Structure 1
């Protein structure tokens, strides 16, 4: 819920196909406060029906009172590959909180890959992080996330992470993971890093894909890989990520 003190930064990103079959990317960033930090899309590559976009942070992220909203829409037949130039750090909020909300909509035959970088929840931070995905039949998604609880040598902050994915209106993955200095050691067995890769649709809809290690098959098709570690490299899921991207279909700029 928004409060009067929230600094809202909303990023909208839309990928469509032109009549000539090329991918067109449109974006907009709106701020409730000119000092609010935001995420700005920068187009890196456009090729045929696909585009590659970097989500570049502008300002210090993530501070108390920040409310970052990212809306991504990929229309029928288009492909969008999102990358991040670096990780995000949620800093000590001294009793306050912040929000990070992602809403994704994929049309029929649309493809989205999102290579997320580490999201660090520092001691004293309190974050509500939500990812909501609505996919049409025939769409494909590959999503990578790394959650780091606490910077090196410090206890974890507090985060509630929610993921909700539907395909043609039917739930494919619904998950809520509340982690704080008390619950994290119990739920994660002393680990502080959670790596995750999600593949839904594309080749993943037809049966198991990628390595069996760390893989959980979703009832309605697709796979979730998850690995715990004490450091980020220990939770790396590089092989699973490559499999998820391949299941979505190789981008136009890969030989």
Structure 2
């Protein structure tokens, strides 16, 4: 439930194939009030069946009271590649909180690749993040993300992170993590960076390290590190993106 102090910014993106010319790309940004910071979708390129979009932050993200919502729909036979120009920092919220919710719907034979940049949870931040994906038969999803607990030399803030990926045949990945200064040591073994690459619906590349085989042939690669370079999954992401048919 929203409160009077929350500022909601909802970004909607929908990509549909076209019979001629370029695919149809529809996007909107809706703000609950003019002070809300948002993610603005910038069309980088598109062709007959697919598009490439950059999610550009407008305003400071992420502050207490921010509620960022991203709804992405890729219709049957279409492709969308999402990139981010830089990472996101959840700043000290001084007792407040923020939300970051992503909802993904993929039609039959659709493809989505999302090259997420680091999400930093600074000391004093309190963030709830959720990702929900619904995938039809023949669709392909490739997601990259990196969670960084605290900036250099500081304690982590608190993040409650949930992920639910459902295919036509059932759950692929269901995860619920709460990480803060008290639980990070037990859950992550003293590491502060957790990088992940998820590939659903495409034959996985031959990268055996840091790999978890999921339901329905999906694969999750996850790597921990004290510093960002120690948790890097760059080669895995490049291979997963190629497997997904991304550009």
TM score, norm. by length of structure 2: 0.97
The aligned residue for residue 25 of structure 2 is: 25
Structure 2 SS opposite 1:220: helix
Matches within 5 A, 1:73-112: 73-112=73-112
Distance 2:216 2:79 in 1: 23
Distance 1:75 1:117 in 2: 25
TM score, norm. by length of structure 1: 0.94
Q: Does 1:246 align with 2:237?
A: no
Is there any run of 5+ residues in structure 1 with no aligned partner, and where?
none
- Asked if the contact 2:171/2:215 (under 8 Å) is kept, the reply is no
Distance 1:211 1:31 in 2: 42
The aligned residue for residue 63 of structure 1 is: 63
The aligned residue for residue 34 of structure 2 is: 34
Structure 2 SS opposite 1:202: coil
Q: Does 1:196 align with 2:196?
A: yes
Distance 1:21 1:195 in 2: 38
Shift of 1:169: 5.5
What RMSD in Å do the two structures reach over aligned CA positions?
1.1
Is there any run of 5+ residues in structure 2 with no aligned partner, and where?
none
Structure 2 SS opposite 1:137: coil
- Asked if the contact 2:21/2:47 (under 8 Å) is kept, the reply is no
- Asked if the contact 1:195/1:236 (under 8 Å) is kept, the reply is yes
Structure 2 SS opposite 1:76: coil
Shift of 1:46: 1.1
Structure 2 SS opposite 1:234: helix
Distance 2:115 2:191 in 1: 22
Distance 1:149 1:167 in 2: 30
Distance 1:72 1:120 in 2: 23
- The one-character-per-residue Cα deviations of 1:223-245 (angstroms, maximum 9, x if unpaired) are 00000011111111012111211
- Asked if the contact 2:81/2:246 (under 8 Å) is kept, the reply is no
Deviates more, 1:56-65 or 1:227-236: 227-236
Deviates more, 1:89-98 or 1:238-247: 238-247
The count of corresponding residues between Structure 1 and Structure 2 is 247
The aligned residue for residue 182 of structure 1 is: 182
- Asked if the contact 1:202/1:249 (under 8 Å) is kept, the reply is no
